[in-house]
Homo-oligomer: A and B are copies of this chain.
């Protein structure tokens, strides 16, 4: 969702995050996509408008926004970290072929709880659900190249 700079600034101030050109650009890029980009994806996007931007600033900014609760880090396996501008509670559906990450909003999943017998005395604070599979185009691609495992 495309956000006005003033709305971004307001959110930053509400979360005690200093407003800078770099941060605004990075957060804006993240907020207007649902594609869960990596730090480097964001660096490439933002560099077009701000060629002086350092990759390092992207990493640092993302860590600041993450710690402030404005951004979520999504780790899938050992691939590079992906970032999510949607901080409301939700889960993900991941394509094993192309790595795309789709949002899953489902109240039943959000309410999932561990039975106390399984909790082992833990103070359980949250959970994460990931579904894995193949998206439409990856499924297609696999059918077209049956050489590797049917």
Contacts and interface: CB of A to CB of B under 8 A. Distances in A.
Interface of A: 75, 77-78, 81, 93, 95-96, 102, 104-106, 109, 112, 114-115, 118-136, 139
Contacts of A93: 114, 118-120, 122, 124
A127 B132 CA distance: 6
Chain A interface SS verdict (over half)? mixed
Interface centre among A78, A105, A118 (most CB of B within 10 A): A118
B134 A118 contact: no
Contacts of A78: 75, 78, 81
Contacts of A104: 114, 118
B127 A122 contact: no
